[in-house]
Amino acid sequence: MREVKVATAQFETTPDPEVNRKKALRYCDEAAQKGAQAICFAEFWMTGNPTISDNSWLVKQAEPIPGPTFKLFEKKAKELGIYIVPGTIIEKGEDGKYYNTSGLISPSGKLVAKLRKDHPENDSGKAEVHFGISPGPGEYPVFDTEIGVVGVPIDMDLCALEVPRIMGLKGAEILFTPMCWGATVHDCVAAYCIAGSSVSDAYVVVSNRMSKDPVRLGGSGVFWLRNYISRIPDLTEGITVATLDLDRVKERREECRTRYPYWRRPSTYALLLDQEAELRIHGLPKITKKK
């Protein structure tokens, strides 16, 4: 039996990034004390997310990666001997652009990869595009680690179900998912995690922020197919630790070969690659090619 222990954290973001960093590091300690081999944090846990209002304060909080915040997690990962998915921060890229970026840090304290959100939003409450956040490269990598094959879809990346599907096809067994969803879409946290687990045949470990104003209920936990196997109560700060049996991933995929012989029919999905169809349905102008 291939068993690994993973944790996810849920807490309220304060106006002080330093307070938030210290809180996150304490949860790393707690996770390690409880035997977790990895921990995941939420999207925008350190600063809060961009909105359509004045974001000048957030501009000042943008960091290069590696930078101060990730270096703290690298040091903590090495100290505790665990993997850390450090949620997301606003990255000031080497190209001068902004990104919503997570990462995967190994127990040796090495930043295995920085991972940029591929589907940034432009809602009034999370105005990433308005802020200037650019999409990531859309490569959807997975990483063969000591705790299994790992992917890190960020927030809306999980909702574009092509992404967890691709990660599953690449062999992902665990999808660590930083998220930041409010109360109005709280039910969708479970819905999309269930869908993401089901299309990838992988565990989904989700960390969602919580707060009382504006209300964010949380919903952080661990999913396997249609069920939470562990979760943090709504409006509660803390962590949850779950034991994952990675043999179940292999068994599920073998079972699907016979149970769902037409599980995928790629030859019928051409419309997914038709960008003009996407523009038509949203009433956007056609793309004109430069001569």
The pLDDT, as a whole number, for residue 287 is 59
List Cβ<8 Å contacts ≥24 apart for 249-252: 249/148, 249/173, 249/201, 249/202, 249/203, 252/201, 252/225
pLDDT value at residue 180: 96
Segment 235-245, tens digit of pLDDT: 999 999 999 99
Segment 36-61, tens digit of pLDDT? 999 999 999 999 999 998 899 999 99
User: Which residues in 146-245 belong to E strands, given as ranges?
Assistant: 148-151, 174-179, 203-208, 211-212, 215-216, 221-224, 227-231, 238-245
Mean pLDDT in residue range 82-95: 97
Give the model confidence (pLDDT) of 186-196 as tens digits. 999 999 999 99
**Is residue 290 pLDDT above 60, yes or no?**
no
pLDDT value at 79 more than 60: yes
Give residue 275's pLDDT.
Answer: 83
Using N-to-C axis directions, what is the helix angle for 68-80 and 17-33, rounded to 10°? Answer: 20
Whether residue 23 is predicted with pLDDT greater than 60 in this model: the reply is yes
Class of domain 3-281: alpha beta
Q: In the prediction, which pLDDT does 283 show? A: 78
Helices (H), 81-135: 128-131
pLDDT tens digits for range 134-174: 999 999 999 999 999 999 999 999 999 999 999 999 999 99
Write the pLDDT tens digit of every residue in 96-116: 999 999 999 999 999 999 999
Average pLDDT rounded to a whole number, residues 279-286: 78
Place of tokens 């049996």: 245
Nearest Cα to 246, choosing from 6, 5, 2, 54? 2
Would you call 42 helix, strand, or coil by DSSP?
coil
- pLDDT number for residue 57: 93
Sequence spans of domains, the chain? 3-281
Q: What is the pLDDT of residue 161?
A: 96
User: In this predicted model, what pLDDT tens digit does every residue of 250-263 receive, in sequence order?
Assistant: 999 999 999 999 98
Pairwise CA distance, residues 216 & 53, whole Å: 19
> What pLDDT score does 116 carry?
98
Per-residue pLDDT at 279: 84
Residue range 1-21: mean pLDDT, rounded: 96
